[in-house]
Amino acid sequence: MKTPRRRVWDISPVLQPGMPVWPGDSPYTQERTLIIGPDCPVNVSRLSLSTHTGAHTDAPFHYDPNGASMADVDLEVYLGECRVIHAIGANCVEIRHLAGRIEDVPERVLFRTYKSSPTTSWDSRFASISPEVIVALDAAGVRLVGIDTPSLDPEPSIEMLAHKAVMKAGMAILESVVLDDVAEGDYELIALPLKMAGSDASPVRAILRAI
C-alpha cells in the first residue's frame, strides 16, 4: 500500500535576472557558458548572486564577527515542525500578534506579513519583527524565526536590534520566503542551506509540507 503524498507549498521566490535585491547588493545574473549543439552535449551556466538572494538563511557570522559561518551551522534547526502565524498588513510584528498563537509552539515559526509578496519590485517599507517578539519566542522554545520580508529589522536600521536578540538567543533566521498561499497553522519546514565555508548566508529552496 502506497503512503499518501503530503501536500507541498513551495515558499521560495523564483531566482531570475531583474528580481529585487537589497539596495546596493549584488544583482542576480545568469550566463550560459556552454550550449547544447553539434560540438557540445550539455548546457552549463555561470551564476552571480548575493548570499542573501531570494529565500535565504542568515549565518550567525552575518551579524556576529565571531559567529559560525554557513558551513558550520546545525542543519537540524532548518528541518522539522513549523508554525505559520499571520500578521498581514503589520508594519512590525509585535507581541500582540502572538496572542493565543504560541501555546505548544513548535521550534520553528514563520510570520506572514504580506497578502501578496512583492516578488518583482523592492519594498523599502517591508515589515520587521520587534526584539520583544524574539525574546518571547525564545522563552517558548523557538529555535528558528522566519518572515516573508528581506530582513527581521527595518531597512534603515543600523542597530539591528532583532538580529541582536536572535544572536543572544542562539536562534536561526529564515528571510524572504513567500507565504501568499499558506494559511495559519502547523507544517513541516524544509529549508536547508548550502555548505559554504566562511559564508554569512545562503539561499535555500524552502518548502512546507502538510503534517
User: Is 56 a residue of the active site?
Assistant: no
Catalytic position from the list 52, 62, 97, 163: 62
Centre a 10 Å sphere on the Cβ of residue 175 and count the other Cβ atoms it contains. Answer: 22
Question: Where in the sequence numbering do the catalytic residues fall?
Answer: 62
